[in-house]
Amino acid sequence: MESIHDSKQDRLSMLQASFEAVLGQEELFSKIIDFFPYPIEVFARDGTAVMVNRAMLTEFGVASQDMIIGKYNIFQDPEIDKNGLSDLVKEVFNGQTRTVTNIKVPLKSIQERYTIENLDIKSMYQDATGFPIRDERGEVSHVAVIFITRRIYKGKVSIANAIEYLEKNWDQEYNLSETAKAAGLSTYHFSRVFKIDVGMTPYSYYRKLKMEHLMEKLRDTNLTVKEAFNVCGLEYNGHSFSVFKKHVGVTPLKYREMTVK
């Protein structure tokens, strides 16, 4: 049976091949990028943005692609270094395909860079996959980066602060008092407001984060299944297995079989 990993890799390979097929046809290349449903940026070898699609502009409310093309350089972005992504970016420009998951988007930096006045997003987390686009000689001509938004929050600032606290402390034991403190609310009021805004209790959100990180660790073949649980601060027992299956739909062992070659 084809694994989830194989399916994603096949789609990425097809996308990469289609970009390379029209690389020399700038107008067609630009149209393909523009109509791609996910935010995407294309960079020249020196790191300068040369193409950006409408999905990218819409995602952040950037007025025009002219504000990005020729002006933004990924090598000169301080947020890249701040988030420890510099080496990974260099690897992509050297011909490797790399994916980073659950990146907290630097919304304040983006808002200031592109003078966005009405960005109503409080916090956003994305996955980013960068891959090389090669010319007819097989040399890296450009690099494309595709962004997939995992979570986006537009609620009250107090709840956004609580979500940020949970995101940072997902691997610690759940603490309602500290989470409410991050929001600046009493525990009783916080729990009510959080559920109204987010659609689930703070603990359910915390547990969802745990499961997402566990899924990521289960895809890491350097870890045994038991080690993946330990890294995530979860007991390796029947209860944890049941929680995982309820969240994902399959057991941890089955999930590993499906996602790892």
pLDDT profile of the chain (261 residues), mean per 10: 52 74 77 84 95 89 90 95 92 94 88 81 86 91 91 78 91 94 90 88 93 91 92 91 89 86 62
Q: Which sequence spans correspond to the domains of the chain?
A: 4-153, 157-259
DSSP at 76? G
206 by Cβ neighbours in 10 Å (0-12 / 13-18 / 19+) ranks as buried
Instruction: Give me the half-sphere count of Cα atoms (radius 13 Å) on the Cβ side of residue 4.
Output: 11
User: In one letter, which amino acid is 149?
Assistant: T
Q: What is the pLDDT of residue 160?
A: 85
**Contact present, 49 and 31 (Cβ < 8 Å):** no
Measured from the Cβ of residue 115, the count of other Cβ atoms closer than 10 Å reads 9
Instruction: Identify the CA nearest to 259 among candidates 2, 64, 37.
Output: 2
Distance separating alpha carbons of residues 184 and 97, to the nearest angstrom:
42
Q: Scanning the structure block, which residue is given the tokens 């547990």?
A: 207
Distance separating alpha carbons of residues 113 and 107, to the nearest angstrom:
10
- Alpha-helical segments (H) within the chain: 4-21, 26-34, 54-60, 78-82, 86-93, 107-113, 157-168, 176-183, 187-198, 202-218, 225-231, 238-248, 252-259
Instruction: Give me the half-sphere count of Cα atoms (radius 13 Å) on the Cβ side of residue 6.
Output: 8
Task: Select the CATH number that applies to the domain covering 157-259 from these four: 3.30.43.10, 1.10.8.10, 1.10.10.60, 3.90.1150.10.
Answer: 1.10.10.60
User: In one letter, which amino acid is 94?
Assistant: N
Distance separating alpha carbons of residues 86 and 124, to the nearest angstrom:
21
- CATH architecture of structural domain 4-153: 2-Layer Sandwich (3.30)
Q: Bridge-partner residues for 44, per DSSP?
A: 142
Instruction: Identify the CA nearest to 207 among candidates 183, 171, 236.
Output: 171
**Contact present, 102 and 125 (Cβ < 8 Å):** yes
